[in-house]
Amino acid sequence: MARPASGEEHLELARNAVRIAKTADELRSAQALLLPLELGLSLEQTAIAIGRSKGKTCTLRTNYCKRATGRMAAPVAKRNLRNRANRSLEEEKVLLQEVFDGAGVGGVLVVPPFADKLRQKMGVPLSLSAIYRMLARHGWRKIVPDTTHPKGDSLVREDWKKNSPGCWVKR
């Protein structure tokens, strides 16, 4: 036989929290306490009703009681950032303008030389793919394909083109 649900001392607080909840998490947390006490639901039934696992429902109940008694701080509001983002879009835009200040004025931007400068400004390690995704988010795009190696000699290349053997010609 399962033990009876506890938390009757927080029942009125949970009823009020259900009425004034602004987020789904706040609502679920209050419902995890309220449903077993008001309707006599088991933990499994409560979990199904609020759409969480049995373990998560139990955690929601105990955390709600801890917050009500003051043994636990209220959850801190989430940052207003995208998933795993280091900066907001506005901060990224300003940062890119600082690092690539003269790059968009008619020249071709080569990212790897600027990558270290950008990493220093951000203060976090960034892969080249993360930098390219950041540039794409802010409207930068690859305009000219990289057709030659930067350390290559154009005269030697042209000389080779002119004097290459004719073995490539179809007979």
Q: What is the pLDDT of residues 158-168, one digit of tens each?
A: 777 766 566 66
Show the domain range for 59: 8-69
Does the global pTM surpass 0.85?
Answer: no
Question: Of 75, 55, 74, which Cα lies nearest the Cα of 32?
Answer: 55
Of 23, 51, 69, at which residue does a domain stop? 69
Same-domain check for residues 57 and 103: no
Q: What is the pLDDT of residues 65-75, one digit of tens each?
A: 999 888 888 77
Same-domain check for residues 85 and 65: no
Same-domain check for residues 14 and 53: yes
Q: Indicate the number of domains in the chain.
A: 2
CB 61 within 8 A of CB 55: no
Same-domain check for residues 49 and 110: no
Same-domain check for residues 85 and 143: yes
Q: CATH number of the domain that 12 lies in?
A: 1.10.10
Q: Is residue 131 part of a domain?
A: yes
Q: Is residue 155 part of a domain?
A: no
Q: Is residue 169 part of a domain?
A: no
Is residue 107 scored above 60 in pLDDT?
Answer: no
Same-domain check for residues 60 and 110: no
Q: DSSP string spanning 10-50?
A: GHHHHHHHHHH--SHHHHHHHHHHHHHHHH---HHHHHHHH
